């Protein structure tokens, strides 16, 4: 197995300076291009070798059976799995009848570059065939952020030693042979083998198209290609099509120094409703528009779109070049995941791989949407419109469970529940409050009251009704929510999970406030003053457990009385714990998979005074093993807020580098979209100290000693802001928009035309905190591995270990 870093460290590109066949899967994920509608993994142009060929369309899936050893009422009967659709990336090359295959002959040079400003993946190769013929291949690939249905490839081949007969075969291939999933149930494997049924195919001139439908989910997909050929006048171009393959072949004899250039235009479309002729016409029209724009025009549109995006979104970091690159890559992938999703979800891997079957979780609202709300607000709004569109399925699920309102699915593609694992899956009702929180954050960030009325209100009413029927008032008058699972899946089916209760409390209050602002619309949903009062009453009397002896909030009722996990006698190879110990043992011990109560403090800081936040953070640091990639970014935020700046820096790096360094060892399944979003949050919300509420936006910046400067931009209610943090001062600049006021460490700052530079107040560093034995983050600086604890809450000394991954979550 290869070791060491795959990518060169550069500020605006991710460069693979040489080919490493052992790391192909990781590179294919990192180099994936997407616009939220189309996703192309970073496979080689010729298709082979590969780790996992991948061409995806957002929400295009096949149904598969969900096997159970023992069934139960309410268990979903079938799941949904994203599938590899027609592959249009393929351009095969033959030189004097020898296939261009990097496993044969001699590879003189191979470099690929993901350009974060151009939005392209480029490749430069020099290859000597087994017969001694030398060629140079240069290609550039893009998935258009401006023309939603379009991807394009510019491919150039040049012979370097002597004239040669060259053949290019540009293809569309459906039902590609994929690596086995090793499913325990053969029915699942069968459901996903050759999932596309041919309906129509044709070729004409320099192009062709294929139309297929799925066997079980009833979806139809069309893929079309067209080409421009620039080369010798004697070049011959032909096209052909069959059920699962279409091919355009270009044959020419090339002279040294006279390259042949091929431009390939690809169009994709799918629908569950449109007829075959309509879908055919759709992709043909998209191809016509792409050809009209031309390769140079598409590339120019892509660069202009990204220039505008980066003007606001860029995060500048001085003092850590590796982290600078990682934060920009993360921001780029978040944009790719949501830019043109247009009322469809964002999967846990975006469109970069098949991890989690392409399902959307609560990650979308809690991690991704807050970033998009400030950097690409239209995309954030569309994600919530998607949630509104699947309300019928959520209503149906709630009714099945005997509840009012809507029960949103724990994991899904098209709205149906696809999690067959109740304790750590469907019982995590907090997803309803996470969606409500996303509505609140989007409206705060944008000031979009029309959205609040037309989309947000319905989501808030549906989720508030769920909480009112799920919880109950006990004999003491407190409102309890029992038998649920919070974000930490090592503690399942508990009473009064603090995260769940606090988020439900906010959901109920906000729903009542918004319904009161829009009474006529609320009345259409049957909301009256009595129901709003019941929501407020439940929120006011919400039970929030507190351990008076330890002076901390238990993660859930009775959690702090459980036995503490034996961390010192748990060797490193036993992590992640879920693969090596029974769940019942995890459920009854104090051991935490991912930040739970700490995430509650990040999202509801109003509920925790500063000293309480410090005590809680210290306690839960000693119990959290981070068997999930969702944890480090949250721990980074609260570590920064509580003054543990070096620790926050370590956690930020872990979140940012999870895919660039393949810290979890499974980036070949797709990048960790939520961790990438959390990277931005760790910088802006953590070190920037950003919080927002009905009174406005507030910052409390502090810089970790290792960094000399952080600068970031964001959109706020029609304005563009830029914040710069230096060791002793912060600068706030209103780039565009009307004058405003913001908070800086509790003081009001007025922004108009001139930047405001204000000092950062000094603070007393807190006592160091401890992580479980062997579970500390990798230190970014020498000496960061040694930390002491609060004397009241002793936890064992920790050693360094790489972060683990949410991929291993057992939810279906």
Residue 207 scores a pLDDT above 60: yes
576 within some domain: yes
Are 344 and 305 within one domain? no
Q: Within 10 A of 516 (CB to CB), how many other CB atoms are there? A: 13
Q: Residue 6 has what DSSP assignment?
A: -
746 within some domain: no
Q: Please state, in angstroms and as integers, the Cα–Cα distance from residue 781 to each residue in 236, 640, 645, 755, 784, following that order.
A: 60, 16, 12, 33, 6
Residue 419 scores a pLDDT above 50: yes
pLDDT at residue 795 in the model:
30
pLDDT at residue 183 in the model:
55
Estimate to the nearest angstrom the gap between the alpha carbon of 688 and the chain centroid: 22
271-320: per-residue pLDDT in tens?
999 999 999 999 999 999 999 999 999 999 999 999 999 999 999 999 99
Residue 220 structure tokens: 């139809």
pLDDT at residue 385 in the model:
98
pLDDT at residue 73 in the model:
87
Residue 106 scores a pLDDT above 60: yes
Residue 811 scores a pLDDT above 60: no
469-523: per-residue pLDDT in tens?
999 999 999 999 999 999 999 999 999 999 999 999 999 999 999 999 999 999 9
Residues 377-398 have a mean pLDDT of 98
642-659: per-residue pLDDT in tens?
999 999 999 999 999 999
Are 726 and 785 within one domain? yes
User: Which residues are bridge partners to 716 per DSSP?
Assistant: 719
The two beta strands, 696-699 and 691-693, are: antiparallel
Q: What are phi and psi of 500, to 5 degrees?
A: -60, -45
180 band by pLDDT with thresholds 50, 70 and 90: confident
798-809: per-residue pLDDT in tens?
222 223 233 333
CATH code at position 146: 2.70.98.40
| Residue 561 backbone class (left: φ over 0; alpha: ψ -120 to 50; beta: rest) | alpha
Residue 608 scores a pLDDT above 80: yes
Chosen domain end from 280, 312, 344: 312
723 closest CA partner among 691, 680, 755? 755
> Is 363 annotated to bind ligand?
yes
Are 322 and 307 within one domain? no
Residue 247 scores a pLDDT above 70: yes
Rounded to two decimals, what is the model's pTM? 0.94
363 within some domain: yes
Domain that holds residue 653: 314-732+765-808
329 closest CA partner among 663, 666, 671, 615? 671
**Alpha-carbon dihedral angle through residues 425, 655, 689, 463, given to the nearest 10 degrees:** -20
CATH code at position 318: 1.50.10.10
Catalytic residue among 489, 654, 806, 807: 489
Residues 250-278 have a mean pLDDT of 97
Are 239 and 340 within one domain? no
Chosen domain end from 252, 286, 312: 312
Distance from C-alpha of 365 to C-alpha of 677, rounded to nearest angstrom: 11
pLDDT at residue 315 in the model:
98
- Range name among 72-76, 100-104, 155-159 with the lowest pLDDT average: 72-76
Helix H or strand E encompassing 121: strand 120-128
> Is 416 annotated to bind ligand?
no
pLDDT at residue 771 in the model:
97
775-799: per-residue pLDDT in tens?
999 999 865 544 333 323 323 222 2
68 band by pLDDT with thresholds 50, 70 and 90: confident
**Alpha-carbon dihedral angle through residues 377, 380, 385, 391, given to the nearest 10 degrees:** -150
Are 112 and 198 within one domain? yes
Tokens 């600086």: give the residue. Answer: 781
Distance from C-alpha of 760 to C-alpha of 49, rounded to nearest angstrom: 53
Percent of the chain whose pLDDT exceeds 90: 90
Distance from C-alpha of 293 to C-alpha of 299, rounded to nearest angstrom: 10
pLDDT at residue 803 in the model:
30
- For residue 626, give every residue at least 6 positions away whose Cβ sits within 8 Å of its Cβ, in sequence order, or none: 593, 594, 632, 635, 775, 777, 803, 804
> Is 307 annotated to bind ligand?
no
Q: What are phi and psi of 541, to 5 degrees?
A: -100, 15
737 within some domain: no
Residues 65-72 have a mean pLDDT of 82
749 within some domain: no
Are 306 and 322 within one domain? no
pLDDT at residue 182 in the model:
57
> Is 594 annotated to bind ligand?
yes
- Per the prediction, the chain carries an average pLDDT of 93
Are 147 and 279 within one domain? yes
pLDDT at residue 426 in the model:
82
Chosen domain end from 283, 312, 341: 312
Are 250 and 166 within one domain? yes
| C-alpha neighbours within 13 Å on the C-beta side of residue 31 | 29
Are 532 and 575 within one domain? yes
662 within some domain: yes
Residues 54-64 have a mean pLDDT of 96
Domain count, the chain: 2
The two beta strands, 472-473 and 196-204, are: unpaired
Are 658 and 523 within one domain? yes
Residue 50 scores a pLDDT above 50: yes
- Please say if 454 is a catalytic residue: no
739 within some domain: no
Are 124 and 63 within one domain? yes
3-state secondary structure of 566: coil
Residue 662 structure tokens: 């393949």
Residues 119-127 have a mean pLDDT of 98
Are 245 and 346 within one domain? no
574 within some domain: yes
pLDDT at residue 67 in the model:
81
Most distant CA pair in the chain, distance: 90
């Amino acid at each position: 197995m290869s070791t060491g870093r795959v990518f060169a460290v550069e500020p605006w590109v991710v460069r693979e300076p040489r080919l490493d066949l052992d790391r192909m899967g990781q590179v294919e994920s990192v180099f994936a291009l997407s616009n939220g509608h189309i996703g192309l993994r970073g496979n080689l142009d010729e298709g082979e070798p590969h780790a996992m060929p991948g061409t995806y369309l957002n929400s295009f899936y096949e149904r598969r059976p969900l096997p159970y050893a023992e069934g139960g009422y309410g268990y979903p009967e079938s799941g949904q799995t994203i599938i590899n659709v027609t592959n249009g990336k393929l351009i095969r090359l033959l030189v004097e009848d020898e296939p261009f295959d990097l496993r044969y002959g001699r590879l003189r040079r191979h470099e690929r570059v993901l350009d974060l400003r151009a939005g392209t993946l480029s490749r430069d190769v020099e290859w000597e065939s087994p017969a001694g013929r030398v060629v140079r291949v240069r290609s550039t690939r893009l998935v258009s952020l401006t023309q939603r249905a379009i991807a394009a490839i510019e491919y150039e081949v040049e012979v370097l030693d002597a004239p040669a007969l060259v053949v290019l075969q540009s293809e569309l291939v459906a039902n590609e042979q994929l690596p086995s999933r090793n499913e325990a149930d053969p029915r699942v494997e069968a459901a996903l083998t050759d999932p596309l049924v041919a309906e129509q195919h044709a070729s004409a001139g320099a192009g062709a198209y294929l139309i297929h439908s799925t066997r079980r989910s009833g979806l139809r997909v069309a893929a079309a290609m067209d080409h421009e050929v620039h080369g010798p006048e004697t070049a011959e171009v032909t096209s052909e099509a069959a059920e699962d393959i279409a091919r355009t072949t270009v044959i020419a004899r090339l002279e040294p120094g006279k390259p042949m250039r091929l431009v390939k235009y690809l169009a994709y479309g799918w629908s569950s409703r449109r007829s075959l002729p309509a879908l055919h016409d759709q992709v043909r029209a998209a191809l016509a528009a792409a050809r009209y724009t031309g390769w140079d025009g598409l590339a120019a549109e892509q660069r202009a779109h990204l220039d505008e995006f980066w003007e606001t979104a860029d995060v500048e970091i001085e003092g850590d070049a590796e982290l600078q690159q990682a934060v920009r890559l993360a921001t780029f992938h978040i944009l790719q995941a949501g830019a043109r999703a247009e009322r469809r979800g964002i999967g846990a891997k975006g469109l970069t791989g098949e991890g989690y079957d392409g399902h959307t979780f609560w990650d979308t609202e809690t991690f991704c949407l807050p970033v998009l709300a400030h950097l690409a607000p239209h995309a954030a709004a569309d994600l919530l419109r998607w949630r509104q569109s699947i309300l019928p399925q959520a209503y149906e699920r709630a009714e099945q469970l005997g509840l009012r309102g809507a029960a949103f699915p724990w994991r899904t593609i098209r709205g149906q529940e696809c999690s067959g694992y109740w304790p750590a899956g469907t019982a995590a009702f907090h997803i309803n409050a996470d969606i409500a929180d996303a509505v609140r954050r989007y409206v705060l960030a944008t000031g979009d009251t029309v959205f609040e009325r037309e989309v947000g209100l319905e989501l808030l009413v549906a989720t508030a009704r769920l909480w009112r029927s799920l919880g109950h008032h006990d004999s003491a008058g407190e409102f309890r929510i029992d038998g649920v699972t919070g974000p930490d899946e090592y503690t399942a089916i508990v009473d009064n999970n603090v995260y769940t209760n606090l988020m439900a409390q906010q959901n109920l209050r906000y729903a009542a406030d918004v319904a009161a602002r829009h009474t006529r619309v609320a009345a259409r949903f049957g909301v009256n003053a009595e129901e709003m009062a019941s929501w407020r009453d439940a929120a006011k009397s919400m039970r929030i457990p507190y351990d008076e002896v330890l002076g901390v909030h238990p993660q859930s009722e009775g959690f702090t009385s459980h036995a503490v996990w034996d961390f010192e006698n748990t060797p490193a190879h036993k992590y992640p714990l879920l693969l090596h110990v029974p769940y019942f043992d995890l459920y009854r011990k104090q051991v935490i998979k991912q930040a739970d109560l700490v995430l509650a403090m990040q999202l509801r800081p109003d509920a925790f005074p500063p000293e309480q936040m410090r005590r809680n953070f210290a306690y839960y640091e000693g119990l959290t093993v981070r068997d999930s990639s969702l944890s480090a970014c949250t721990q980074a935020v609260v570590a920064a807020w509580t003054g543990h700046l070096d620790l926050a820096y370590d956690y930020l790096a872990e979140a940012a580098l999870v895919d660039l360094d393949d810290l979890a060892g499974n980036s070949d399944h797709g990048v960790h979209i939520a961790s990438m979003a959390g990277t931005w949050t760790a910088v802006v919300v953590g070190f920037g100290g950003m919080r927002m509420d009905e009174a406005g936006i507030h910052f409390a910046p502090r810089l970790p000693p290792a960094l000399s400067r952080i600068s970031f931009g964001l959109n706020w209610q029609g304005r563009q802001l830029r914040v710069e943090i230096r060791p002793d001062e912060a600068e706030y600049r209103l780039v565009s928009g009307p004058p405003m006021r913001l908070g800086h460490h509790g003081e009001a700052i007025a922004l108009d035309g001139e930047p405001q530079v204000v000092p950062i107040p000094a603070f007393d560093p807190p006592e160091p905190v401890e992580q479980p034995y062997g579970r500390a983050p990798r230190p970014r600086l020498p000496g960061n591995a040694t930390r002491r604890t609060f004397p009241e809450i002793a936890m064992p000394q920790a050693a360094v270990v790489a972060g683990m991954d949410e991929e291993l979550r057992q939810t279906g």
